[in-house]
Amino acid sequence: MRRIYSFTLIAVGLSAGLLLAQSDSDYQGWMKTVGATNGSLQKNIAAKDQAAASADAAKLQALLELSGPGGYVVLVGAAVRQAPRLSGLMEGIHFVGINPPSDMEELPTLSLAYANEKVPLRTAIARGVVVGADLATSPWLVEAHRVLLRGRRFVVENEEPELPIGLLKLAAEHGLWVGEKR
């Protein structure tokens, strides 16, 4: 038992000595290297995200299956990020973003609203609904269902959401669940 205790004390002492023996210039050099590498990685990720986001907007357009202009599409949470690209693909439709990410701003085709518990729209008004993964929880899914017109598409960025009654599942794959309001 004493041997294990002695070995542990020696290991802890050596580790502490190594940590304290590093100079500030070594640390600064490491941080510069890590910072530069991180910046480069972030730029590459952002470039790939733009391409992926455009593909996602095209997928969402097809999944919402809207023909012709007019009406509203409700985007909840992180799904609001798709609004600029969707508005380019779906002219004449106005998008309503509920609880958007903080960096989103209103556009001529996008109105933003913030809510605690309910989507601030009347019942059965939206031609389509997309719920982001960040708010794909039961209360928001129920609210999204409430504002959707009967026979219209309901998309959730989650393959296995806890859905309210009254939705017919059409497909679920690649991180999306697609249904239709009965």
What is the rounded CA–CA span in Å between residue 155 and residue 129?
A: 6
pLDDT, tens digit only, all 182 positions of the chain: 666 767 677 766 656 555 555 556 665 655 555 455 445 444 444 434 444 444 488 899 999 998 889 999 999 999 999 999 999 999 999 999 999 999 999 999 999 999 998 999 999 999 999 999 999 998 999 999 999 999 999 999 988 888 888 999 999 988 899 999 99
Cα(22)–Cα(40) distance, integer angstroms? 27
Give the whole-angstrom CA distance, residue 109 versus residue 71.
11
The residue type found at 28 is: Q
**Which two three-digit tokens encode residue 91?**
């002219």
User: What homologous superfamily does CATH list for 54-181?
Assistant: Vaccinia Virus protein VP39 (3.40.50.150)
